[in-house]
């Protein structure tokens, strides 16, 4: 069933809070100051606008929060080495204003919900999935649906929003958080390896689920190929957003 996508418009927003989530990765909380009510669906993105040396630059950023009161939204972004926009946003001080358009994109959770939902993310690919999970769990994920988040990072300190997802998993019996580390320290008791390995380990041989994947192109393409060619999922069961 296709949801109603709000029409994109131009807005301005002020940065209210920012905090470092991990080295080189920031969480930014915004409040819309002009353009009216900002409605979006969990998982959509905005296009930030920056005037730089007389040119208008735009970059896409996924909304990292669930729809709330039409005024607030979060972003989660990392510094790209030599990148103009990402460093500008990561260095912004609270009180700074930016222009953006949105919402854009179709990476949203489809209804009706299947019995199993598998979210896979690496790095800031967690942004839209954080929004989707808060939306689903905030509304009350039906008991008939089990949701997994497989989040890939290198080290424990780069598991973004770790405490938050652990708390959500503690509060919701049908939400399962699987952080998996590609370079785990010796005392790490959790999952190891890339998200692809955890996907095969936990879901190999099954095809009765919908997958939502977000991150850099190489990971997204690889996971899609595994789901299609090894698991035999239909393309309608595979939803994704690529960052490059
Ligand atoms: C739909 C969509 C949603 C996105 N959401 C997010 C988000 O929520 N959080 C987020 O951090 N980014 C997100 N991005 C990426 C973002 O739009 C920018 O590409 C990123 O911030 C880099 O912009 P920049 O101006 O700093 O770098 P640029 O000046 O554009 O690029 C500098 C160099 O870095 C390379 N590069 C560009 N992006 C990346 C990257 N992500 N990783 C590694 N190298 C890169 C470029 O090829 C170039 O060589 C999203 C992209 C898309 C298409």
For residues 135 and 125, what is the distance between their CA atoms, to the nearest angstrom? 17
For residues 68 and 88, what is the distance between their CA atoms, to the nearest angstrom? 26
Backbone dihedral region for residue 110 (phi beyond 0: left; psi -120 to 50: alpha; all else: beta) = beta
Residue 238 host element (H or E): strand 238-242
Q: How far is the CA of 244 from the centre of ligand 1 (A)?
A: 6
Which numbered atom of ligand 1 lies nearest the CA of 64? Answer: 8
Which of 190, 26, 137, 37 has the alpha carbon at shortest distance from 92? Answer: 26
Which residue CA neighbors atom 25 of ligand 1 most closely?
85
**Fold observed for domain 9-104:** Elongation Factor Tu (Ef-tu); domain 3 (2.40.30)
Which residue CA neighbors atom 29 of ligand 1 most closely?
83
- The SS3 of residue 241 is strand
Which residue CA neighbors atom 50 of ligand 1 most closely?
243
Which residue CA neighbors atom 20 of ligand 1 most closely?
86
pLDDT at 206: 95
Please name the CATH architecture into which domain 116-242 falls: 3-Layer(aba) Sandwich (3.40)
Q: Tell me where in the chain the CATH 2.40.30.10 domain(s) lie.
A: 9-104
Strand order of the β-sheet with 116-122 is: 191-192, 175-181, 146-153, 116-122, 210-215, 238-242
Q: Which residues contact 66 (CB under 8 A, 6 or more apart)?
A: 42, 131, 132, 134, 135, 138
236: DSSP letter: G
pLDDT at 2: 75
Pocket test for ligand 1, best of 83, 103, 158, 215 (most atoms within 8 A of CB): 83
Q: How far is the CA of 80 from the centre of ligand 1 (A)?
A: 7
Q: Looking up tokens 């708390």, which residue turns up?
A: 167
For residues 177 and 91, what is the distance between their CA atoms, to the nearest angstrom? 31
Separation of CA 197 from chain center: 20
Q: Tell me where in the chain the CATH 3.40.50.80 domain(s) lie.
A: 116-242
Residue 219 host element (H or E): helix 217-225
Q: Which residues contact 68 (CB under 8 A, 6 or more apart)?
A: none
pLDDT at 10: 98
Contact 242, 216 (CB under 8 A): yes
pLDDT in single tens digits along all 244 residues of the chain = 678 999 999 999 999 999 999 999 999 999 999 999 999 999 999 999 999 889 999 999 999 999 999 999 999 999 999 999 999 999 999 999 999 999 999 999 999 999 999 999 999 999 999 999 999 999 999 999 999 999 999 999 999 999 999 999 999 999 999 999 999 999 999 999 999 999 999 999 999 999 999 999 999 999 999 999 999 999 999 999 999 8
- The SS3 of residue 209 is coil
Which numbered atom of ligand 1 lies nearest the CA of 78? Answer: 11
Q: How far is the CA of 63 from the centre of ligand 1 (A)?
A: 14
pLDDT at 52: 84
Q: How far is the CA of 53 from the centre of ligand 1 (A)?
A: 19
Transcribe 167-198 into DSSP letters.
Answer: HHHHH-TTEEEEEEESS--TT--SEES-HHHH
pLDDT at 64: 98
216: DSSP letter: -
Give the binding-site residues of ligand 1, using a 6 Å CB cut-off: 45, 59-62, 76-78, 80, 82-86, 105, 124, 127, 241, 243-244
């Amino acid at each position: 069933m296709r949801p109603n996508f709000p029409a994109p418009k131009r807005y301005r927003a002020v940065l209210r809070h920012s905090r470092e989530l991990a080295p080189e990765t920031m969480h930014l909380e915004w409040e819309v100051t002009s353009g009216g009510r900002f409605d979006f669906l969990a998982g959509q993105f905005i296009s930030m606008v920056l005037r730089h040396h007389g040119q208008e630059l735009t970059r896409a950023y996924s909304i990292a929060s669930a729809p709330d009161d039409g005024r607030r939204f979060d972003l989660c972004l990392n510094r790209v080495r030599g990148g103009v926009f990402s460093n500008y946003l990561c260095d912004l001080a609270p009180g700074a204003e930016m222009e953006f358009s949105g919402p854009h994109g179709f990476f949203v959770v489809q209804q009706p919900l299947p019995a199993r939902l598998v979210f896979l993310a690496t790095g800031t690919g967690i942004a839209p999935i954080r929004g989707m999970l808060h939306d689903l769990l905030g509304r009350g994920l039906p008991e008939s649906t089990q949701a997994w988040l497989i989040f890939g990072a290198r080290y424990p300190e780069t598991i973004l929003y770790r405490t938050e997802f652990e708390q959500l998993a503690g509060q919701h019996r049908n939400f399962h958080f699987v952080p998996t580390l590609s370079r785990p320290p010796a005392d790490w008791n959790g999952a190891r390896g890339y998200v692809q390995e955890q996907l095969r380990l936990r879901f190999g041989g099954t095809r009765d689920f919908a997958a939502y994947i977000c991150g850099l192109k190489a990971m997204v393409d690889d996971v899609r190929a595994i789901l299609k060619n090894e698991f035999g999922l239909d393309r309608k069961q595979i939803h994704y957003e690529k960052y490059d």
